Structure 1
């Protein structure tokens, strides 16, 4: 498995999310400005709801920007034990411990990109190849670590 190629896919997906969030924020701000100019103070509640939406989008944007920055620190060398930057194959699937992103496809394989803070990553953390761990009352075995 080529972890640097997987990391590029993750970075691209995060960049797309960031671009989309920035576009949504711009569009929402534009609609908020239109509301201000055309409706007056009578619709203050509506404008406040739009502002809350902008704030929520900004929080998501900041989280994605932090995630993208954290990828720059990622160690893509082979790992002996599971931790940040590990690509782990268990008898149940493939997991890349990096940021919370969900599923990606690489060379026809489904890889679940998960954060170190996720319960599954915590259950695997510090384990080595052939080790077993339990997650949601299901035993899994680590087949390989990259």
Structure 2
């Protein structure tokens, strides 16, 4: 498994998300400035709704920036046990311990990107190839750790 390429895919996805949020915030601010009306309360309500949308987008942008700072600290060095930056194959799937971005496809394989804070990772953290763990009564065996 080429962890360097997987890490680059994740970095690219995060950069694209950041760019999208920044664009959405700029567009929403622009539309907020364009909202001119002599309707009094309706104008203020519309501006407040746009401000809430900007705040929501800003919060999502901050979460994504936090993910970016976490991913910058992860290396593609081989792992002997389940830890941040490890690629883990269990009998149920392939997991990359980094940030929670959902599923990515690499070399025709589905890889779930999961945060070290997730219950799944907490259950398998520190384990090595051949060891087992359980989460929600589902038993999994670790087949390989990269």
Q: TM-score range by the shorter chain?
A: over 0.9
Secondary structure of the residue aligned to 1:39 is coil
CA apart distance, 1:45:
1.8
Greater Cα shift, 92-101 or 76-85: 76-85
- Which consecutive unaligned segments of at least 5 residues does structure 2 have? none
TM-score w.r.t. the length of structure 1 is 0.94
Alignment of 1:1-146 (within 5 A): 1-35=1-35, 38-40=36-38, 41-42=40-41, 43-146=43-146
Runs in 1 of length 4+ with deviation above 6 angstroms?
A: none
TM-score w.r.t. the length of structure 2 is 0.94
Q: Deviations over 1:8-39 (max 9, x none)?
A: 0000111111111111111111111111xx11
CA apart distance, 1:75:
2.6
Secondary structure of the residue aligned to 2:88 is strand
